[in-house]
């Protein structure tokens, strides 16, 4: 059995490419890296890699991570700038016994020494988004001061994946440009082991997307893998972990940020859960063609999903590629 599951519609082309590798006996590490690179390289996805939206100083700072479920090796980068594929740098770091999570200038020096491709990741389209947001914030400054409802942090769609190959090896990986208009140096859950991702070939793999500051309060990816290790189906594990953290945050803090998770176990069974409307995911297995699904969360925390229609898929790409009116 082999399979891949990933957060958001944007991942479907990547997992389709990864599936071809897995189908031919490819390695789960190679497949997941290839799949995430596909997302990082597409300029119209504004939350990952090239074309990602900048921080408040108009710089694209990226976070990424990779985990090998056989060895538990982890590599990660945070707040790295001007390199084309952060996930590949993270995977290279996973081979290091120490110094396997590097940030900012340290990550950039390592990537340069290792010969990774330098690239200006700030696109003209991302600059237009930035200018438009500055105008919106300026025009609504009074409203913001009064209600704090205008959030420059809207939009935080990490691509996260879990992968299983024919040998039973599992991997997890993430990549994101983080919250739009974030503070320089801000790091979310994506490169943090146990929060943004976790993989253990004996138990399963999981990955997260949403508000990193809240996802990190529950070490939720590790929790899902732990629950799968105790025998829970991935769907139940995801629903249980998301519902518990959502409830805990609401009880203690009065609100919970966006929490969305995907997972797969060593049998190739998979699951998803979210506390928001509009979460989508992509999945492919040995017995299932690559497809995008839309998730609906019930009041009891259970999550159902249905395949995205052709119309939805078409509108998705039209929206992503539409001209920006400044």
- Position 140 scores a pLDDT of 64
Give CA separation, 4 vs 105, 147, 222, in Å. Answer: 32, 42, 18
Q: Which pTM does this prediction carry?
A: 0.95
- Position 155 scores a pLDDT of 54
Per-residue pLDDT of the chain (326 residues; tens, 9 = 90+): 999 999 999 999 999 999 999 999 999 999 999 999 999 999 999 999 999 999 999 999 999 999 999 999 999 999 999 999 999 999 999 999 999 999 999 999 999 999 999 999 999 999 999 999 888 877 766 555 544 544 544 555 899 999 999 999 999 999 999 999 999 999 999 999 999 999 999 999 999 999 999 999 999 999 999 999 999 999 999 999 999 999 999 999 999 999 999 999 999 999 999 999 999 999 999 999 999 999 999 999 999 999 999 999 999 999 999 998 88
Could you give the domains of the chain? 3-321 (3.60.20.30)
User: Nearest 10 degrees: CA dihedral of 308, 313, 319, 322?
Assistant: 180
- Position 156 scores a pLDDT of 59
d(CA 255, CA 129) in angstroms, rounded, equals 28
d(CA 8, CA 86) in angstroms, rounded, equals 19
* Residues 308-318 as b or e (16 or more Cβ within 10 Å = b): beeeeeeebee
Active site residue 123: no
Give CA separation, 201 vs 87, 147, 176, 219, in Å. Answer: 20, 47, 24, 18
How much is the CA Rg of the chain, to the nearest whole Å?
A: 19
What element of type H or E holds 270? strand 270-274
Catalytic residue among 7, 158, 174, 274: 158
- Position 149 scores a pLDDT of 47
d(CA 258, CA 240) in angstroms, rounded, equals 16
């Amino acid at each position: 059995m082999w399979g891949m599951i990933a957060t958001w519609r944007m991942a479907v082309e990547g997992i389709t490419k990864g599936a071809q590798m897995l189908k031919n006996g490819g390695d789960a590490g190679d497949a997941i890296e290839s799949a995430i690179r596909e997302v990082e390289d597409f300029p119209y996805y504004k939350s990952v890699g090239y074309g990602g939206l900048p921080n408040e100083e108009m710089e694209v700072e990226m976070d990424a991570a990779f985990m090998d479920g056989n060895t538990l090796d982890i590599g990660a980068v945070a707040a790295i700038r001007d390199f084309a594929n952060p996930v590949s740098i993270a995977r290279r770091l996973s081979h290091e016994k120490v110094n396997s999570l590097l940030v900012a200038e340290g990550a950039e020096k390592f990537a340069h020494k290792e010969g990774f491709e330098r690239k200006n990741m700030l696109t003209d389209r991302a600059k237009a988004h930035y200018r438009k947001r500055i105008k919106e914030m300026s025009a609504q400054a009074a409203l913001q001061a009064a209600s704090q409802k205008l959030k420059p942090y809207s939009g935080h769609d990490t691509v996260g994946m879990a992968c299983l190959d024919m040998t039973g090896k599992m991997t997890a990986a993430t990549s994101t440009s983080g919250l739009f208009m974030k503070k320089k140096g801000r790091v979310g859950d994506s490169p943090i082991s146990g929060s943004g991702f976790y993989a253990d070939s004996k138990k399963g793999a999981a990955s997260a997307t949403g508000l990193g500051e809240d996802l990190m309060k529950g070490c939720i990816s590790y929790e899902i893998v732990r629950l799968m290790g105790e025998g829970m189906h991935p769907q139940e594990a995801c629903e249980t972990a998301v519902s518990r953290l959502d409830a805990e945050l609401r009880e203690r803090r009065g609100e919970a940020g966006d929490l969305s998770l995907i997972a797969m176990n060593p049998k190739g069974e998979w699951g998803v859960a979210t506390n928001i409307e509009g979460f989508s995911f992509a999945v492919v297995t040995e017995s299932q063609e690559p497809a995008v699904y839309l998730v609906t969360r019930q009041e009891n925390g259970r999550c159902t999903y249905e395949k995205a229609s052709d119309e939805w898929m078409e509108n998705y790409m039209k929206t992503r590629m539409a001209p920006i009116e400044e």
